[in-house]
Structure 1
C-alpha cells in the first residue's frame, strides 16, 4: 500500500496544470509545541532533512503481544514509514514506535518527535473484526491501522509544517487520513485497499459506539464516534459517488448528508492539496 505516493502523483499533475480512555483508533495527542516549525528544504540544496524510523518495543500482556505480532510479522510500521519517507520532506527525524500502552490508542508527541501505535489498538481492531465475522480479520485490522497512522500523520504535519487549521485538530487529522487514502491515482481511481482502510477505520468507531453519551463525551476534543463514522463515510462517498453509491441508505450514510458529500470532499481535497504541496518531495 503506497498511498502517499499516489497522492503525490496526482498533486503533481494538478499543480503542473493549474499553478476517559480514548475510543479504539482515537488519538490522545499532546498539545502541539509552541516552537516554530523548522524550515523544510524541498530542493535538495543542503537544508535540514529527516526520515521516519521504526522501532518495536517489548510486549508483556496477551493483548499487546497479539498486536505486536500482527504489526511486526506483517512489517506494517516499516511500510508506513517507507511511505512517508518516499513522499514527505521531513525537517528532522521522526520515530514511529510500536508500544505497549495498556489501552487501545495512538498518538503524535511533538516534544519527543514520535508517532506511537499502541499494540492494543491493533489487537482491539482485530477482535472487532473477528466478532463481526470478517473472513480475514487480521487484514481488516491492518487496514484500520493504516488509517489510524495517517490520522496521526495529520497531527504530525500540523506541527512539523506549522500548518493553519480552522477547526478542531482531531477533525482535521481525520480529514488528512481520508485525503491520503481516498486520493485517486493516475488512472483517476482510488486504490481499493486504501478505500477499504477508511471503511474499516469507520467500522472500528461504529463498534465503539457512544451509546450513552456523557457530558465528558460532548466536551471531548474528538467528535463523537458515530459522528466520525458518518464523516468518514461521507468523504468516501463524496470522493467517488458512482463507485460508492451502495453506502447511501440501508443504515449507513443518510441521503440528506450524502447530497452534500461531493462538495464536502472537494473542499477537503483542495485544502489538503494546498497545505501539503510545498512539503512533498520533489
Structure 2
C-alpha cells in the first residue's frame, strides 16, 4: 500500500509485501481480509465501464466514488467476485458517512499487471487490483483458510481504507515523511474498521492474518530496501494492539501472545486512543457533522 506524494514522484512506490522469515506462534486469529503500487496497466486490455456501474455521492457533493474497469482475461473471476461482494462500495459508503474530502476520489477496480493497489495523487484515484485478489486468495488457501471469500473481502476493505488514508493525507497536506505516512494510513484503516464494531473487528483480525501469513512465507532477503512500509509482523502487532485497546472485553484472546506480549498489552488502550484522537484532530476540517 503506497502513496507517492508529488515530492517523491521519482521514487519507486510499488506495493512491497514485507518479508520476515519467522513464523508467528501462539496467536489465535478468528478469521473471516491488505497492497500498494502505481496506477497503470495494459491499455489494450482495460477500459472504463459505463457510468451506471459506478457508485457515486449525491449530486453536487464531492467524495469517494467506485468505478470498475474491464478486467484482463486472467482477472475476470476476481473482477466478478469484487462486483458481486461489493467491498469497495461498502468501504466508500463508510468513508462518505465519515468525511467530506471536498473533491472526487475514485476507487477503481482494475487489472494492474502486478503493480499493486495504491493511491495516485496526480489522478486522485485509488486502484484496487483484480490480480491482488487472486494472490490474497491463494495466500489464505495455502494457510488453510478454505473457502477464503470473507478473508479476501476483508483484505479489500482494509486496503481501501489504507489507501483512503493516503488520499486524506494528500487532501489535508499533512506533513508526513514516507514511513510516517504509511504508519498513519494503517492507523486510519484501523480507525475505519473499528468504527464498524464487531464486523469491523473481524475484518481487522483477517487483515492481521494476511500479514502473518505473508511474513511466514517470506525470507528476510526478499524485503525491498526501498519499501517504506513497516515489516508485516510489526503491522500485524500494531493492528492487534489497536483492536485490543479499542475493545478488550470482546478480544481477550489477543492478550499476552507472541505478537502482543503482556508488557505491550498494558499500553494498548492508550495507544489506540492516541491513534484515534490524532486522526480525528487532523480530520476536523472535513469530518461530517
Structure 1 residue ranges (4+ consecutive) displaced by more than 4 angstroms after TM superposition: none
Q: How many residues align?
A: 239
* Aligned partner (choices 16, 36, 40) of residue 22 of structure 1: 16
Task: Specify whether residues 74 and 251 from structure 1 end up closer, same or farther in structure 2 by C-alpha distance, changes over 3 A only.
Answer: same
Is 2:156 aligned against 1:162? no
Give me the whole-angstrom Cα distance separating, in 2, the residues matched to 1:220 and 1:22.
6
SS at match of 1:108: strand
Task: Please list, as runs of the form range in 1=range in 2, the aligned pairs for 1:192-271 lying within 5 A after superposition.
Answer: 192-209=198-215, 211-214=218-221, 217=224, 219-271=226-278
Q: CA deviation at 1:222?
A: 0.6
Gaps of 5+ in 2: 1-13, 19-33, 40-59
How far apart in 2 are the matches of 1:215 and 1:203? 20
- Maintained 8 Å contact 2:69/2:108: yes
The alpha carbon displacement at 1:138 in A equals: 0.5
Alignment CA distance shift 1:232-1:218 (3 Å): farther
Structure 1 CA distance for aligned equivalents of residues 273 and 88 of structure 2: 30
Q: What is the TM-score of this pair, normalised by structure 1?
A: 0.76
Structure 2 length normalisation: TM-score?
A: 0.74
Which is further off, 250-259 or 224-233? 250-259
Q: How far 1:61 sits from its partner (Å)?
A: 4.3
How much does 1:199 deviate? 1.0
Partner Cα distance (1:198, 1:280) in 2: 23
CA distance in structure 2 between the partners assigned to 1:114 and 1:208 by the alignment = 26
- Structure 1: which 5+ runs fail to align? 1-19, 31-47, 184-189
Q: 1:279 aligns with which of 270, 282, 286?
A: 286
Higher relative contact order (CA 8 A, sep 6+): 2
* Root mean square deviation, CA, Å: 2.5
- My pick for the range that moved more, 90-99 or 118-127, is 118-127
